[in-house]
Chains A and B, each alone.
Chain A
Amino acid sequence: MIELKNVSKWYGEFRVLDDCSMRIAKGEVVVICGPSGSGKSTLIKCMNGLEPFTRGEVTIDGISVGAPDTQLPRLRARIGMVFQNFELFPHMSAAANINLAQLKVLGRDRATAQAKTDELLARMGLADHATKFPAQLSGGQQQRVAIARALAMDPIAMLFDEPTSALDPEMITEVLDVMVGLADEGMTMAVVTHEMGFARKVAHRVVFMDEGAIIEDASTAAFFGTPRSERAQQFLSKILQH
């Protein structure tokens, strides 16, 4: 479904992505982890063309992300993305956030969009918060609205970039629960996260990055059993201590 072939990216002299290749099959959940600055965000943003890359190829369902004739907006509309800082639109209510792209991108009529929005808000346990603005919601609630906003487009895959790392500890679970639910339903997911509990529970594979390169790409059991690379071992022992 999502395939990266030898993707490299430079910022001037600095190599952010170093020959990265990986595949995410339909229905697969892949967790991407690695130290800060290792290029995780850059990698995941290459998957929907938010971040241009210098070399290599990214394809979604066989469509090349980097090709000049690709309709990027149309492609992105089919891939949900959730950000570390939620990025809800602050001038719109929760419902309006979820409605916007349904109306403007998918061209749904208002009633259809609103029905979808209501259904998703209910599923996120946020039915009572539809008319609230982002600033009136807790971090966990905001992130669930952001997930609903992405799901409203009926995406074929979901990308998550550290969806819980801006949250207070007591709110992390409510967001992870939603993500576990999605994974259980068979959603194709790429998740940048340091929540190793989540990775153990739902990930099929774990990808470990360091200094822009994919150092390790292993099944979850293999990764937590005996990661082959020393750096992944160090990273894991550091993270699991906390």
Chain B
Amino acid sequence: MGGGFDFAVLIRNAPFLWGGMVLTLQLTALAVTGGLALGLVLAVLRLSRIPFAPALVAGYVNFLRSMPLILAIFWFYTLIPKLTGQSVSSFYSVLIAFILFEAAYYSEIIRAGISSVRRGQIAAALALGLSNAQAMRYVVLPQAIRNMIPVLLTQSIVMLQDTSLVYVVGLRDFLTTADIVAGRDSRPVELYMFVALTFLVVCFSASRLVNRLRRRYAL
């Protein structure tokens, strides 16, 4: 046990902790990318006039948003092998759960972003002869994305923090590895301080990066 702080514990366990960090970052990056892509499709469908599409999407979004994330993780962990008849690694089942779950949240953010673009902008784009898809891509989405970046960032940080739930299916993300080390080496204070600090640095750099991107596209 011993008193005082022993930060050498971090160095001794660096490879193990790094492994957890890699899993967390991979999962976050893939889930954010997949969630945004699916969320965009859902948002466009929900704003479309395709028969039944808006209602179906609304049902999907409301269903997933009423579900605790941890339930979605359990659900896909048991459901996917049953549906496909094959065993799927816990990583992929968790990834799919995250993507489907996050997409519900992202689609609402994207929908609000798209709706925030003035209608006259679409009229101007169409009047120039752009197709609906081109108007979306070149005129509406660039403005919508700029409006929704802060909220998307917040949602993605929540997502990063939520990756720690994957311990329930036996995956070792960053927080889980830190937790294991904390218990094994009886150094909870050092480990949890380290985790908090790391999350702070990651989130801070993410928001700096986003601000940089935003400035590049901003007026």
Contact = CB atoms under 8 A, between A and B. Distances in A.
Interface of A: 45, 48, 50, 72-81, 83, 85, 87-91, 100-101, 104-106, 133, 135-136, 146, 149-150, 153
Given A90-B219, A91-B143, A91-B217, A101 B130 contact: yes
Interface string B118-132: 101101111111110
Nearest to B139: A89
A50 B120 CA distance: 11
Nearest to B134: A104
Interface of B: 118, 120-121, 123-131, 134, 138-139, 142-143, 146, 217, 219
Given A73-B130, A153-B129, A100 B124 contact: no
B130 A89 contact: no
**Which of A77, A91, A135 is most buried by chain B, counting CB atoms within 10 A of its CB?**
A91
B123 A87 contact: yes
Given A73-B130, A89-B138, A105-B134, 20 more contacts: A45-B123, A48-B127, A73-B131, A79-B127, A81-B127, A83-B120, A87-B120, A89-B125, A89-B139, A89-B143, A91-B142, A101-B128, A101-B129, A104-B138, A105-B128, A105-B129, A146-B124, A150-B128, A153-B128, A153-B129
A100 B127 contact: no
B118 to A, nearest CB: 8
A85 B123 CA distance: 11
A79 B126 CA distance: 11
A89 B219 CA distance: 11
6 contacts: A73-B126, A73-B130, A104-B130, A104-B134, A104-B138, A105-B129
Nearest to A149: B128
Contacts, number: 69
Contact of B128 (A76, A85, A133): A76
Given A85-B120, A87-B120, A76 B139 contact: no
B121 A87 contact: yes
B126 A76 contact: yes
Closest 6 CB pairs of A and B: A77-B129, A87-B124, A101-B128, A81-B127, A105-B129, A87-B120
Contacts of B125: 89
B146 A100 contact: no
A116 to B, nearest CB: 14
A207 B42 CA distance: 45
Contacts of A83: 120, 123-124
Nearest to A85: B120
A92 to B, nearest CB: 8
A214 B128 CA distance: 27
Contact of B138 (A48, A75, A81, A100): A100
A48 B123 CA distance: 11
Contacts of A153: 128-129
A85 B130 CA distance: 19
**Which of A74, A85, A90, A136 is most buried by chain B, counting CB atoms within 10 A of its CB?**
A90
Contacts of B138: 89, 100, 104
B117 to A, nearest CB: 10
Contacts of A81: 124, 127
A104 B139 CA distance: 12
B123 A74 contact: no
Contacts of A80: 127
A104 B120 CA distance: 20
B121 A89 contact: yes
